[in-house]
Structure 1
């Protein structure tokens, strides 16, 4: 059994922490290990959920992201709620170096093709609409060209 214990413990711990927030029935609640995304109908409701989460344990302190130009980062995506529709696009943090296997490195061509295919697949699959896909593909192209791949 080569699994690391930390993610399993984080999931168990978070399932207990999130119970009081889930009982409030937010519009949307997503969690990946210890990263939560909560959507509520009002800012005061969001503030209350944030306070509740931070009161659950002295060993964990939640932080929250602020939207930038209406887009809220969550994991490798950015989310925007506009006119009742959730828009999603691929997101790379500013601190991300965007370094992948360089095209000139001595690796099998099949490996390089798989990397290129998976970067573009991720960009397309996490995007919710045509404009989001275009923005995500622009980012993917920048990453590829920055690592020696031609378009």
Structure 2
């Protein structure tokens, strides 16, 4: 199974979306990067650096701007009819998802290195630190439990 299909299936499991979004909103983490880490199970520094760099580019260029627009469109924009606003919001949400898929497809091309497969916790911690060296390891515990 490819990374995209695995990520969609996994994200739909009980507790995964909530834990991932908490890491995104409360700790500034990149959810596709964490899902890739759980899939690839690597702690290879070169692979993690390449993955984090790719995720930063996608996040800055496409994902964050689309997310900001989608969230801004959640509130009424008088005098625009709610139906028109919601239709546009749905299109922006679809574009945001397409951007996340593009990132996951790019991440899937990164060679995870020659190291043996890491545990889920080790892989998540390594990816979390590659994204933010100051991330506290316990911040990832909820996601690790949901993914296990």
Q: TM-score, normalised by structure 2?
A: 0.25
**Larger helix proportion of the pair:** 2
Question: Relative contact order (C-alpha < 8 Å, sep 6+): which is higher?
Answer: 2
**Larger strand proportion of the pair:** 1
- Structure 1 or 2, whichever has the larger Rg, is 1
Q: TM-score, normalised by structure 1?
A: 0.25
